[in-house]
Chain A
Amino acid sequence: MTTVILDSEAITALRKPASAKGRAVLAALEVVPAQRKRRRINAHAIVPTTVRVEAHWNRRDPAAATLNRLPILDSTLTSDIANHASDIVESTGVSVADAHIAALVATSGQPAVVVTSDPRDIERASAPHRVRVIRL
């Protein structure tokens, strides 16, 4: 199973899908149907809910219709993930949203691909876990 994780810059880019960054995010999302079709892998794409907050993505907002139409799943901040993310913020000083992403990478046990404009922060927060990064 492959999980494509979007950061807030990726969400912002998706609001302008024809922009260079928007196309880059869509290329990353194309990984999901490509792997499902060819590899029969249960790939999916997620947005951590803290990232949604940071990117001002309210699913009830009619302006979010285009984003909502993509089957990107919410990944909620559970108690366990919050504990993990809290330690990451404490040790690295990254944002809550980046710590949430890193905690998901650390606990997923599956290959995770993070779409981000700031690979350095994500790699630092995810260490010692290796993270695959698609840079915007």
Chain B
Amino acid sequence: MTVVPQMCGTFSIVPTTHATALDRLSALLRIENSPTVNTSMRIPENLRDAAALVVDELGLATSTTTLTTESLRFELETALWRASLDALYAHDPASRPSLAQTAHALAVAEDSPVAEYPELIEDAAQAIVDRHPTAEPHDVLLWAEALHSAAST
């Protein structure tokens, strides 16, 4: 990794490889009680005002800083998860679980009524991919639950 000093005391971190970037991202997100820094990030004015409203008038967050930081952490962690799994699949394509397998795991995690019916989830995945090749596990689950509900009535 190359660390390039920038103006104003900030650093631009230039990863040498995708894997190195993932390792660095993971390490950065694991740091607890990191010191805070001022940034010169520019955001649209309307979002700044909307955030102030959420904090000051609606009381849905303790501060704009907390709201921004927690949202940023959530998005970064989500991006890390997606990128880490995709990197593994790119390195070893046979490791990628099927859509039906992932939908079934989701069914268990969400306590879905179709969790006990992996064959139904398999059929739903097959049917949905025929029309929607980019379907996601939640799409399959929704379709499987609809099939299950229709069969139960």
Contacts and interface: CB of A to CB of B under 8 A. Distances in A.
Contacts of B102: 27, 30-31, 34
A51 interface: no
Contacts of A37: 78, 136
Interface residues of B, number: 34
Contacts, number: 97
A30 B108 contact: no
B19 interface: yes
B56 interface: no
Decide if the interface of chain B is mainly helix, strand, loop or mixed. helix
B23 A26 contact: no
A70 B88 contact: yes
Closest 9 CB pairs of A and B: A17-B95, A27-B97, A18-B94, A27-B101, A33-B81, A36-B78, A27-B105, A30-B102, A18-B95
Interface of B: 19, 22-23, 26, 29-30, 74, 77-78, 80-82, 84-85, 87-88, 92, 94-98, 101-102, 104-106, 108-111, 136-138
